[in-house]
Structure formats: C-alpha cells, structure tokens
A and B are shown apart, each in its own frame.
Chain A
Amino acid sequence: MSRSAVNRCMLAVAGLVLLVGGVLLLAGGFDLYGRIGLGMPSWWPLGTPGRPVVSTASRTRWTDRAWWWPTVIGVLVLLVAGVLWWFFAQLRRSGPSTVDLPVPQGSGVALRLRRRALAEAVETETLALPEVARARVQLTGDRRGALLRAVVRLRASGAPDELVERFHTGPLANARTSLGLPDLPVDLRIRGAAPRRKSAPEPPRVL
C-alpha cells in the first residue's frame, strides 16, 4: 500500500468516526428521534436530550470484569504503536541508495549505480533541452518499484508538446537504457516560467 493510500485511509477513518459520533450526539441533543417519532430502544445512551454524554454507569459498566483493563490497554498500545510506525514510515528513505544494473549471465560481477548519479545525469540532459530553465530529477524506489520524478521549469517561449517528446526520446530513453528498465515509469511535472518578469537586473548592493 502506498504512502498516499495509508494517509487517505487514516483521514477516512478519523473523518467517519468524527462524523458519525457528532451526528449521533446532535441527533440526541436536538431530540431528533422524538420529533420524527422514532422510538429508540431504552439501552441506547444517546436517545433523549436529558441523557448525559457518558454516564458514570456506562463508563464503569465493565470495569470489574477481568477482560476490561487488558483490552483497554491493548487497544491503546496498538493505537500508539500504529501512529509511531506511521511517523517512522514518513522518515524512512524511499529505497536503497543504489540500483542493481543487469549484467551478462555468468560474469560474476554485481553492478550497482547510485540513484543520485543517475538522477544527476538525467537532470543535466534535461537542462540541455531547448527552452528549459530549471530541472530537478529524483529516482525513487528499488529496482522493481523504481520511479523517475522530474520537475521541469519551461520558459514562456517554449512548447510543452515538444518538451514532452524531447524528454521522452532523450533523457528518459537514456535512463531506461542505462537501467535496463524499458518500462521505467515517470512522473514529469512541467511548470511555467516565474510569472514576474524583471525588467532590469537589480543593481549590485554596495555597503
């Protein structure tokens, strides 16, 4: 499961818990069940406006059972451990620093390429394309989950269709050949030139 999917699941679970809890509290507080003539069973604690939010009786209902405190502590431990796992998953680097390159069978050689080196090579080639003002390239993931991420700033006189074609036939094709990954997925983001055009360079500051 990708990081985005985990984050979105967390948001969905928290949102649904808050939404359902808030709606149930509001329905009890404004006596919704009484107004629409829906008789809630008497065991439902949030049925009428006069009920407390969490009565002492419901809070201490199971405190004398043997399973109650181990369950509470276990659930809290799981919750805290899950959140700590999430934090460390954010800090973890997104893969090893090198990528294995394919070598001929039986040569007995292991060939590794630093991801940073490949990213810099692609960056240099991208910067050499016409009308490109800036480029930032990253290679993430291991060999199976490799992804090339590029953010390219295009000058206002450039053409995005030409840039996309040139990037695919030039830097990206070379990276795919170098890695031996013909289907290396790419995440290319094209940005425009900075919107403000400075009419003249700033004069040097003299102290």
Chain B
Amino acid sequence: MTAESPDAAPRPSRGRRPRAPRTAGAALIAVVVLVVGGGLLYDVIAVRTGHPARRWRAELAHQLAARHLDDIRVRIGAGGAVLFGLWFCWLAFVPGLRRWLPLRRPGTVIDRAGVAALIAARARELPGVDAVAVRVRRSGTRVTVSGAADPAGVQRELRAAIARVPLAGPHQLDVRVRRSSVPER
C-alpha cells in the first residue's frame, strides 16, 4: 500500500515517493516456503509415525553429506543464493514505482509517460516544429525538437508547460532544437 497512515498524512512531506507493495515478490517467497516447508513437515511427521522417509529427502540428505564445499554444483548453488539474496534485499529496501513522479500535494503523483504526453502535445502546437521526441527521466526531461523553430521561443514555451506540472522535486528541462532542412518523414 502506498498509503500513509492518517496521522502521518498532514506532515508536509514534499517529494515523498510512493512505495510499491511488492506483492509478487512476497508471493514467490510464500509459495516456495509453503512447498518446501509443507513437504518437509509432511515427511517429518510421516517418519515420526513409523513410515519410511520419502526418496527425495533421503537423496537430499545423502547429497548434502557427499558433496564437499568445493564441488562445482555447491559453488553454483551458493552463487545463485547470493544473487537471489541481493535481489530480494534490493526489492525490500528500494521504494520502486519509478514510473510515478510525486507532486507537491501529498499523496499525489503523475506518471512519467503522462508528463511526456503533455510536453509533446504542447511542443507540437508551436510554429516551425516538425517532429518532437520527449524523454522524461526521474530527474529531468529532455525534449528534442526538429524543425525551423526559434530555440529560445521553444525553450520558453516548454518551460512554461512543465511549470504547469507541480512536481515536488527539482526537475531539469533540456531542450534541443535540430535544424532540419528536409522535414523528417
């Protein structure tokens, strides 16, 4: 949930990023724990009530006792565990939701594609603009305009356009105008 608790909401939290709920990652771990833990629990109880152990558990115990630490499979498995561990820690501590940019009003966000669409629509209306490419990153926006437009005028208009998006954090605008004697496409 991206929600702040109600008593924390009135705090003037400029630029507080929403945090992804991470449901898929937690579901993956839950399924693995359920399968491994449930299977192990079933087998341990079966053995305690007088049944023979399943083949997979006897084989697993044998392999763990037979393979040494410098075995290539053990090394690969340990390396995989390290990579998965790093990935899960990354998922646990990083906010996520990179496509949403926080706005000044707490709890309000806008998606980067939306900002790009607004800027591109404004740029296309300007005189002398043939083609527009907009790239919105989290820290800034790069607009590449091709055509016979006046660079200073384009820059001024687009600066006004991005000022209408009340972004919470600092956001740079980088406007490049390319002369194209032959209209593109």
Contacts and interface: CB of A to CB of B under 8 A. Distances in A.
Contacts of B71: 29
B33 interface: yes
A169 to B, nearest CB: 12
B29 interface: yes
A25 interface: yes
Contacts of B75: 25-26, 29-30
Contacts of B66: 52
Given A188-B108, A191-B114, A73 B41 contact: yes
Interface in A2-19: 2-4, 6-12, 14-19
Interface string B73-115: 0110111111111111111110000001001010111110111
Tell me the dominant secondary structure on chain A's binding face: helix
Interface residues of B, number: 75
Contact of B29 (A11, A59, A162): A11
A3 B87 CA distance: 20
A3 B69 CA distance: 39
Contacts, number: 238
Given A22-B85, A190-B109, A53 B92 contact: no
Interface string A134-150: 00000011001111010
A84 B165 contact: no
B37 A12 contact: no
Contacts of A77: 41
A166 B38 CA distance: 53
A19 B115 CA distance: 39
Interface stretch (A43-51, A101-109, A119-127): A43-51
Interface of B: 1-6, 9-10, 18-23, 25-27, 29-30, 33-34, 37-38, 40-41, 44-45, 48, 61, 64-71, 74-75, 77-93, 100, 103, 105, 107-111, 113-118, 120-121, 164-166
17 contacts: A7-B22, A11-B91, A17-B85, A18-B82, A29-B78, A53-B69, A73-B44, A79-B37, A84-B34, A144-B6, A154-B114, A160-B165, A168-B105, A190-B109, A192-B114, A192-B116, A195-B117
Interface of A: 2-4, 6-12, 14-23, 25-26, 28-31, 46, 48-56, 59, 69, 72-73, 76-77, 79-80, 83-84, 86-87, 90, 140-141, 144-147, 149, 154, 156-162, 164, 168, 183, 185-193, 195
